[in-house]
A and B are shown apart, each in its own frame.
Chain A
Amino acid sequence: MSATTLPPTALQADAPITLRAHLRHTGALIRRNLLWIRQDPESMFDAILFPVIFTLLFVYVFGGSIGQSLGGGQEAYVQYVVPGLMAMMGMNMAQGVGTGFNTDFNSGVMDRFRSLPIGRGSVLFAKIAVEVMRMLIATAVLMVVGVLVGFHITNWPGLFASVGLSAIFGSALMWVFLTLGVIMKSAQSVQAMGFLVLMPLQFGSSIFAPTKSMPGWLQNFTEYNPLSSLADAARGLMVGGPVAHGLWVTLGWSLALTVVMAPIAIHKFRTKS
């Protein structure tokens, strides 16, 4: 081939993919995912409605009776459950990412992306970045609804710290669901799998109710359930109480999930036939 027909990129075909290029690719793909939301605003409904419905349901259905065991009433339960629901936001968004990614993966666009000289993980990083944004929106809605039903934030810096902590845990969990999204055949099975794994984690935790009245074996489980730790840490940070144990267990889980699952997700993404 003659030099004049060679594209600029082909001349640099041997060059490695730089960190700047990685960021550029991830940025371009984030733009793609944001355009999806603009094209299909209904895809934001879950992020907006989910915190509203859950807050109202739990506060008005269970608030009175669980609040009594907390030594107060519905007001006491609001202080208890809103930080718990914040922990749940990250998890719920993470579950959705697997389903959406599976649909995307089977559409043929991914084949095009995978045949392009882009950073190995950029498609996945972009997906996580946009999901974290969605999660932050859901959390903001939760806080507004929470305050409307009587939630008092006693420690504002603690609020931001707990939002950060749940974003860290949420994105770590997303690697698990991205892996499922890549390896499982259909979006339905990703959803079913996510449901099976997350239901026990979610309810076998301190998110919705104190663990004191649970049987001993379940208390042991909740002790190291990352969702309990996240909920406890968020509670401690926002309304006061012990923070350290929950914080370290959550960060430990986040680190472990990311270190193990991110390379697996990227590898499966690159090598799926």
Chain B
Amino acid sequence: MTRIDKNPHGGGAAVTVRGLVKHFGETKALDGVDLDVREGTVMGVLGPNGAGKTTLVRILSTLTAPDAGHAVVAGYDVVRQPRQLRRVIGLTGQYASVDEKLPGWENLYLIGRLLDLSRKDARARADELLERFSLTEAAKRPAGTYSGGMRRRLDLAASMIGRPAVLYLDEPTTGLDPRTRNEVWSEVKTMVGDGVTVLLTTQYMEEAEQLATELTVVDRGKVIAGGAIDELKARVGGRTLRVRPLDPLELRPLAGMLDELGITGLATTTVDTESGDLLVPILSDEQLTAVVGAVTARGITLSSISTELPSLDEVFLSLTGHRASAPQDATPAEDREEVAV
């Protein structure tokens, strides 16, 4: 088989993408993408809807043919060696899915048989993976009756049947509630511990931070930034301060007050109407202290205060100077409304 060059940074390259182009009519889903994923690492591909993340995953799993450029996964060319490539990859995500009408066990057994396991091995592997992903009790129920989190776990189990060398996770937690998202994250971390190379696409900086070692930021079919996740975080610099006044009526006065003080980060201050939190983008610890001081001076009582990683919008604003190009869907951000200032 055609082996690709060893990466100078250590392990061999599990995924090498050069100048990948895919157009759908007028839409440039991918417009010359380069990407390197080293063996045994987790590469996060961060971008808004329509950035080309799913098209990238579909090309790398032989579901879509590229218009130009080339891609090599685990030593196999996606266009010239699709059959070999399919034997070493696993695919999980918003599109590749499980059969809702089949019970969980049958889903896994089917894939085992399709991957040429003997009946006995396919049965054993289905039992083993159901156990490992805590689905044994639901083994006989149709997957259509599963909760969102159970379905994603079954999806992950299905993609692990063939012990893939490279695993694609296409937005694995989009649409899940925070608790279920944590469950899926911890499963993915275990899988990474087993040595599989992962290409993860996501819309959440937080997810990338949890799972990825390196990050590639894409927008409108182009790579706009890339590197180790800590480097990128340092470049973005910002954080989001989340404060919740005890009295929800004080949300807007509080927002106005912070604006008067001139405390702003990279993005605009927003209100999370669902939780009653004010989200204040900040750049430094001094700003954090100033916010706390101002709140105390005005006598506003807070019920909670915390900081979190910058949102996709803030990452984009700091890296590119503009907002993420397409509207996001089904993200916690949709509950936020901008504060008129």
Which A residues lie at the B interface, using CB under 8 A? 1, 5-7, 9-10, 12-14, 16-17, 21, 24-25, 27-29, 31-32, 35-36, 39-40, 107-109, 111-118, 271, 273
Choose from A9, A25, A109, A115 the contact partner of B99 (Cβ within 8 Å).
A109
**Is the Cβ of B91 less than 8 Å from the Cβ of A9?**
no
B168-214 contacts to A, CB under 8 A, are 194-195
Q: Is the interface of A mostly helix, strand, loop or mixed?
A: helix
B1: shortest Cβ distance to chain A, in Å? 6
Known: A28-B110, A32-B106. A108 touches B1 (CB 8 A): no
The digit string for B271-307, where 1 denotes a CB below 8 A from any CB of A, is: 0000000000000000000000000000000000000
Find the A residue at minimum CB distance from B113. Answer: A28
- Looking at B157-165, B261-269, B323-331, the stretch in contact with chain A turns out to be B157-165
Give the chain B neighbours of A21 by CB distance below 8 A: 116
Contacts of A114 in B (CB 8 A): 62-63
CB contact between A273 and one of B63, B88, B97, B142 (< 8 Å): that residue: B63
The reply to whether B110 and A7 contact each other, CB–CB distance below 8 Å, is no
Q: Does B322 contact A (CB under 8 A)?
A: no
Which 3 A/B pairs are nearest by Cβ-Cβ distance? Answer: A108-B97, A7-B163, A28-B113
> With an 8 A cutoff between CB atoms, is B259 at the interface?
no
A95 to chain B, nearest CB (A): 21
Supposing A1-B39, A25-B114, A117-B115 touch, asked if A111 and B86 sit within 8 A by C-beta, the answer is no
- Known: A39-B142, A271-B65. Contact between A108 and B95, CB under 8 A? yes
Partner of A13, one of B39, B76, B111, B113: B76
Given A13-B1, A39-B142, A116-B114: A111 in contact with B97 (beta carbons within 8 A): yes
Pair count A-B, CB < 8 A: 111
Question: Given A39-B101, A109-B98, A112-B91, is A17 in contact with B106 using a C-beta cutoff of 8 Å?
Answer: no
Contact between A39 and B102, CB atoms less than 8 A apart: yes
The proximity string for B residues 113-127 relative to A, scoring 1 for CB distances below 8 Å and 0 otherwise, is: 111100000000000
Known: A1-B12, A116-B111. A9 touches B162 (CB 8 A): yes
A113 → B minimal CB distance (Å) = 7
Contacts of A16 in B (CB 8 A): 83
Max chain B Cβ within 10 angstroms of own Cβ: one of A24, A32, A116, A118: A116
Cα of A12 to Cα of B64 in the assembled complex, Å? 24
Question: Complex: how many Å from CA A31 to CA B102?
Answer: 10
Chain A, Cβ-Cβ closest to B162: A9
Within 8 A of A (CB), among B104-146: 106, 110-111, 113-116, 142
